[in-house]
Amino acid sequence: MEAMDLVREHLGPGAVIVSTQEDEAGGARVTAALDEAKFAAPVPRFAEAFAKALAFHGVPGEASDAILAAAAAHEAEGAHQALARGIAAYCRFAPLAASDRRAIILVGPPGGGKTATAAKLAARAVLAGEATRLISTDLVRAGGAAQLEAFANILGTPFETADGPRALAAVLAAATHEARIIIDTSGVNPFSTGDCRELDALIAASDAEPVLVFAAGGDRAETLAMADMFRDLGCARAIATRLDAVRRLGAVLSVGHRLSRGLADAGIAPDIADGLLAFSPMLLARLLLPKGVA
C-alpha cells in the first residue's frame, strides 16, 4: 500500500503497479505505468458507422466532423436519432406549410422535376382541404403547360398560363387571396445571364417566394454552384427530388447547409398523391444510414 501511494504521488492518480521484484539489499523494485484507459476519451458507439455513411454519400471532411461531433452527445438516443441531431446542427430545414400564405414560384435547372413537384404540392393541399391554384409559365418546353393542366384537371384545381412577367402579374391580380398559388416555370440555365434575367423578372412580377427544385444525386460541387446562382435570385430554401432513385445524397446535405432556410420538402416517389414529404433531420438520417445500423 505504501508503494502504491509513492507511485501515485510521483506519477499521478492514474498510475498502476505493473510488477514488483525484491533486490539483493532486501528492498523492492517497483515497475509502474499510467493506466491510459482511465484517461482515453470514450469512442462514440456509432462514430465509425456514421463516418462510413457520410463518406459514402460524399459529405466533405469539415461537414462530416461537425455532424459527428454534434451526434456524439446523443448516442444514448439511438443511431438514427443521434445522426438526426448531428444533421440538425449542420443543415437547416423549413418545410412548406399550409400556414405559408405567400405564393410560391418553383424555379430550377431543366429536368429538376418542377412540374411534378407543383402537382404534388397541389395534391397535398387538395387532400388537406386547402384551396389551390396552379399557374404555368412553362410555355417554351413542349407539353410543359399541358402536363400541369392534366394534373390540375384530375385534382379539380383551377389552372392558368402566363406568357411572361406582365401576364403573370395580371393573372395573380385577378386571383382570390384564399387560394394557395403555386407557379411552375421552365427550366433555366443558372449560368446564363439571359436566362437568369428573365427568371428574375418573373419572380419580381409574381411577388412570390422562389423555391429551388433540384434533382438529388448530382455532383456536389456542381450542385452547390447551381444553388449559389439560384440563391442570388432569392431562393432561401429548396426541394430535392428523386431521392428514391439515387444512392448518394451529399449534395442534398450541402444545399441544406448553403441556403439560409435550407431544405423544404423531399420528392421520395413518383406518385403525385404521396410522393412528397416534409424534409426533416430524421428523414435525412434514415436516407443516409445503411440498413442494420440502429
pLDDT digits (tens, 9 = 90+) for 247-276: 999 999 999 999 999 999 999 999 998 899
Average pLDDT, the chain: 88
In the block, cell 515497475 appears at 31
pLDDT-derived band at 19, boundaries 50, 70, 90 = very low
Percent of the chain with pLDDT strictly greater than 70:
84
- pLDDT reading at 35 higher than 70: no
Q: Does position 286 have pLDDT exceeding 80, yes or no?
A: yes
- 120 vs 136: CA distance, rounded Å: 14
Nearest CA to 266 among 258, 257, 253?
253
Q: Is the pLDDT of residue 149 over 50?
A: yes
What is the value of pTM for the model shown? 0.84
Q: Which residues of 148-187 are buried (b: 16+ CB within 10 A; e: fewer)?
A: bbebbeebebebbbbeebebbbebbeeeeeebbbbbbbbb
How far apart CA 108 and CA 195 sit, in angstroms, is 11
* Per-residue pLDDT at 177 exceeds 90: no
pLDDT at 293: 79
Axis-axis angle for helices 250-258, 61-72 (nearest 10):
80
As a whole number of angstroms, the distance between CA 29 and CA 27 comes to: 7
Q: Over range 183-198, report the average pLDDT.
A: 95
pLDDT band at 100 (very low <50, low <70, confident <90, very high): confident
Q: Give residue 18's pLDDT.
A: 42
Per-residue confidence (pLDDT) for residue 3, from 0 to 100: 59
Q: How far apart are CA 116 and CA 291, in angstroms?
A: 29
The 10 Å CB-count burial string (b at 16+, else e) for 221-244 is eebbebbebbbebbbbbbbbbbbe
Sign of CA dihedral 104, 110, 112, 118: positive
Over pLDDT 90: what percentage of the chain?
75
Q: Which three cell numbers stand for residue 274?
A: 404521396
Predicted confidence (pLDDT) per residue in 39-81, tens digit: 455 557 899 999 999 999 999 999 999 999 999 999 999 999 9
Per-residue pLDDT at 62: 94
Query: CA–CA distance from 276 to each of 132, 259, 271 (Å)?
Result: 17, 20, 8
